[in-house]
Amino acid sequence: MQTTRTRASLTTVTTLAALVSAAGCGVAPPQLNCSASFGTTDAAQKLRAFIDATTSFTATATELDATLLRECTALATDLGATAAELAATSSMTATQVACTRAAALIEQEIRAVRATSGVTVFVETTPPACRVEVDAYQRCVAACDVRFTPGMSDLRCEGGELRGSCMGSCTGQCAVNAAAMCTGSCEGTCTGSCGGTCSGTCEGMCATRDATGACNGTCMGTCRGTCSAMCTGSCTGQCVAMASAQCTGECRGMCSVAFTEPRCTGRVVPPMADVDCAASCDARINATATCTRGEVAVRINGDVGMLQTRANALSATLIAHYGAVLQTARQLERLVLAGQAVIESAQRVPGAVQALGVAAGACAVQSANDIRLAVPKVQVSVQVSVSVSTSVAAR
């Protein structure tokens, strides 16, 4: 599922590159002070939001590329790659080389261990989860679009769930931090046994597994991820149960009063906001989304004989580094989807702010050009995360 979603993102990001190229972005004059105020007019506010969005977008693109380079280098090195094999070439960046080499070595080692008679290898993962701060999104849109009135009733959390502290009555689910028995579902680590469905990794006996080897049944042992019910040992993480009016933890669903510090696990959608303001804020807030690291477990069953050292190295490096690759891939998905709209804005904003002066127009063009330069980084990052995920799923 992770690989499928990331491939979809690759298609989208290729479209982004074409959009930016079509915008005809030029290179702005040197020594521009694009952090300066351009005034308080609608055009000035829109320009400020656009510049801030592109700054966040490009910074995140660079950061995610660096993360993949680091984690892929570690994966490849742990599995035997030399420094010479990981050097950038005239046709491939260091990230492309490192992740391509890591993917090849992971698949090679998985296939080698599986080739031993009676041996099975399963790589189990718990997908990362992301969230954005709704208040930050509202402040961003309000600063850009003077017609936008902040308020929870104005916003939708699309493709996810609205969560936060509720000082009134909570309708839905209530999640509280736990370090003991949990009568609801346990998100985190359930030790003892999970009588419901363990979605994630099971360190013990799992009743049923899916096609990738991940546990999707009862777990007699430690369940890392989500135990849907009856965690008979202890739950370390969050215990989630149906809300009954008052919720002392995180309310998931609806609150009779405004949420305190609301968060959206999907995409925040304002019903009435300037299209360019919404695009800029979407890109800026999603570029700074908080994502958890995915849990990874490697199950090697059977006697691997002389390949024990290789099997241990494979297991150790995947557990140490593959979760970060999954987390980065999830962040890339959000970045790509949010970036599509702001790149389309890059075709409109420079022309719309010319009345603010030459410096403002130059900053708008420079920001549009920054997006154009950032897109290849995102594209490379998507491609290499796909290659690593595909190698882990090799059969």
Q: Which residues pair with 189 in a beta bridge?
A: 224, 236
Measured torsion, CA atoms of residues 9, 14, 16, 19, in degrees rounded to the nearest 10: -150
Q: What's the rounded Cα separation, in Å, for the pair 293 and 319?
A: 11
Q: What's the rounded Cα separation, in Å, for the pair 256 and 176?
A: 19
* Tens digit of pLDDT at every position of the chain (395 positions): 444 444 444 544 444 444 444 444 444 444 678 888 888 888 899 999 999 999 999 999 999 999 999 999 999 999 999 999 999 999 899 999 999 999 999 999 999 998 888 888 888 887 888 999 988 988 899 899 888 876 655 678 888 888 999 999 999 899 998 777 787 888 888 888 888 888 878 888 888 877 666 778 888 888 888 888 888 878 888 899 888 788 989 999 888 988 888 999 988 887 778 888 988 999 999 898 999 887 788 888 889 889 999 999 999 999 999 999 999 999 998 888 877 778 888 878 877 777 788 888 888 888 988 887 887 778 778 888 989 988 987 66
Angle at 133 between CA 130 and CA 135, to 5 degrees: 165
Tell me, yes or no, if the pTM score tops 0.85: no
- SS3 of 153-210: the string is HHCEEECCCEEEECCCCEEEEEEEEEEEEECCEEEEEEECCECCCEEEEEEEEECCEC
pLDDT computed for residue 16 by the predictor: 45
Alpha helices, DSSP H only, in the chain?
A: 2-23, 42-78, 94-114, 134-144, 275-287, 308-345, 349-352, 358-392
Listing DSSP states for 258-273 in one string gives PPEEEEESSEEE-SSS
pLDDT computed for residue 23 by the predictor: 43
pLDDT computed for residue 151 by the predictor: 61
Question: Tokens at residue 23, please?
Answer: 């915008």
Q: What's the rounded Cα separation, in Å, for the pair 178 and 239?
A: 6
**Is-contact 50 364, C-beta < 8 A?**
yes
